[in-house]
Amino acid sequence: ELSPPLYYVHNAPYCGDQRVQKHLGEECDDGNLLDGDGCTRNCHKEAGFNCIAGEPSLCYVYDGDGVCEEFERKNSVRDCGFSTPVGFTDQWASHAFASHHDDRKCPVSMVTGEPAVTKVCKTNFVDFDDGLSHYAWFPCTSVSAQELVKHPFYAGNQEAKIWLKVCFDQPAVATSVFLFLAADGMAFGDLYKKSVTAILIDLDGTNHTLGTYELSCQRNPLIINVTHNLSLPFYKTTTVFLNFSSSLVALSGVALRTYTRFHTMDVTHCSEREVYSQQKQSCVRQTCRDSKCTPLQIEHAKVNCTAQDDRHAKCAVTCLTGFTLKTVSGKTNEPFQKEVLLSCAFGRWDRTVTCDLVDCGALDQSHVYYATFSCPEGTTFGKSCSFTCISPAKMQGTGVNHWLTCLEDGLWSFPEAYCKLECHAPPPIPNAKLLASKCQHGGHDVGAVCRYKCQPGYYMAGSINKQPRKRFLKIQCLEGGVWEEGGCTPVLCDPPPPVFEGMYDCTNGFEFDSVCTLKCKEHSEWAPIQCSKEGTWTEEFQLCESMKGECLPPSELNLVEYSCEQGYKIGAVCTPSCIIPPSDPVVLPANVTADTMEYWMEPTQVESIICTGMMRWHPDPQLIHCIQSCEPF
């Protein structure tokens, strides 16, 4: 098959000529066709590299090289530090207190100041002994860190017992809080992400709850935005209080972001009918005609409201059994949360929620192995799904209840039955005897073994056909419910010497129990020679006494010549060689020549030919051809 055509005009630009041709879409050109050096073989910049303008292009890894360049000022924390937008000020925690800390194992002081930018947030597995205490705080007690989760102190409501309190030197009106995670609290087997509840404390000691947020290494740092009620006086934050739902969480830093040009005195001077506008940086007249929120009407929920005054109201929304909260707008909820508190301000609720039917999701092999599931009514709360075992697995368990029900927590009920994978009775193995009677029946566990003994003259397949031969065979029930492959192979005797080629007939080749008979002129047939179970012939192959004479000189065909130093008598050997080197003499089928031979053929190279008792050369010189030799490696 021909390759596609290539058209090139002399002196025309191309990728690899060390010149950046932007009109051809090139971003760089380092003069080679290798990937991984910053400039791809298609002359495009690779991720994480920057290329200096010039010919050829010089590319380098910029992140972590210690130089803060303009293009990475907002993205590279390792080179440029933590970036703060214009108009804002960031400050790090100056003091910290925690429910659980140890000056040696988990000093709480690790959350003060800027965190280490080279450390990576970890999930599912945290090695508490691998230097974590040198750059992060995690809740620990006097017990070893590995036994932290098992400690009785952490039983029950963990969220109320694991807390962190950080203070800032300059109280200010907060716009957001940054939590830098070293571990997100997840452990193997956890179905839902862990969470943190954030509370701001102002100069008067009043608490302002921001909400509950999911912890994830994929969103690190966790940014908690602060929304202020513009109808109330602004407050300055001096402390952030954090409650954690996991004992495996680890924090390396906490930052508070505030407005650079924000005057709370201007806000407090707004009259009762005015609100502060951040865009205009002044008080504006309130235009809302009705400051009351519309009554909440949420299906599948109980609503309990308490009014503080005409302009403010708070309502607790609790979903009915089998329903879960879903946030349409506003702060998000935890998975399968059932209750939330809504606040009214300026005629609008701070969030919009619904109560949706709990859906447990599709069933898979993690619920019942080796089974298929049927859910005709769906997978929502109260619905049931049945499962059927996939053959050859069989259902086990008392009562054989093969149903799973979707529970109100979004999980499926624990199955009372299960599918056990078994193997049927193993298939019969030819020329082998089964040694254990229990293997004649089915119901074998995965890993069970059945043993056999090969009959005389046979040995285990896969072993070497030499003494001592393995006669005992075992097959195992595999994980797929099928038996391991195995069998008994007949013992083979060595072929008779080439001088006897064409002088014998065998009943079954050279396998065990095969009988070979020599043909001689003085006898109608020679005494039969049999292949024994030991792999030897019962008699020695001998030439007939009357066999005398010699072969004709081999015909030099197909560019092959022969050297016959032993002459041409019976048993004499001649050596073939090719007239045109470098070539090798090989045997080809009768209808194939060196010119018509296919590339995939693997012909046998001929070292010598012999004059047989039939006074014929073996192999036949007419079938010997010369082909080009393979190049040495």
pLDDT per residue as tens digits for the range 236-271 = 899 999 999 888 899 989 999 987 766 555 555 565
In this prediction, residue 154 carries a pLDDT of: 38
Q: Which of 343, 296, 339, 335 is nearest to 317 (CA)?
A: 339
238-243-249 Cα angle (round to 5): 115
Residue-wise pLDDT tens digits, 516-547: 988 776 655 567 899 988 888 998 888 877 77
What b-and-e string marks burial along 185-224, b requiring 16 or more CB atoms within 10 Å of the CB? bbeeeeeebbbbbbbbbbeeeeebebbbbbbbbeebbbeb
**Which domains, ranges and CATH numbers included, belong to the chain?**
1-61 (no CATH), 88-263 (2.60.120.260), 307-353 (no CATH), 371-420 (2.10.70), 423-490 (2.10.70.10), 560-628 (no CATH)
Question: Cα(181)–Cα(219) distance, rounded to whole angstroms?
Answer: 9
pLDDT at residue 109 greater than cutoff 50: yes
Q: Give per-residue pLDDT as tens, 300-330.
A: 999 998 876 656 688 899 999 989 888 776 5
181, pLDDT greater than 60: yes
Q: Are 248 and 145 in contact (CB under 8 A)?
A: no
Encoded tokens for 213: 């947020």
Integer Cα distance of 490 and 455 in angstroms: 9
pLDDT tens-digit map of 567-606: 999 899 999 999 988 889 999 998 888 888 888 888 889 9
CA distance 360 to 412: 7
Q: DSSP for 372-435? A: EEE-TT-SBTT-EEEEEEPTT-EEESSTT--EEEB-TTS-BPPPS-EEE-EE-SPPP-TTEEE-
Note the pLDDT of residue 201: 93
Is the distance from CB of 45 to CB of 61 less than 8 angstroms? no
Measured CA to CA, the distance from residue 609 to residue 620 in angstroms comes to 8
Taking residues 368-373, what's their average pLDDT? Answer: 89
Q: Mean per-residue pLDDT for 2-15?
A: 83
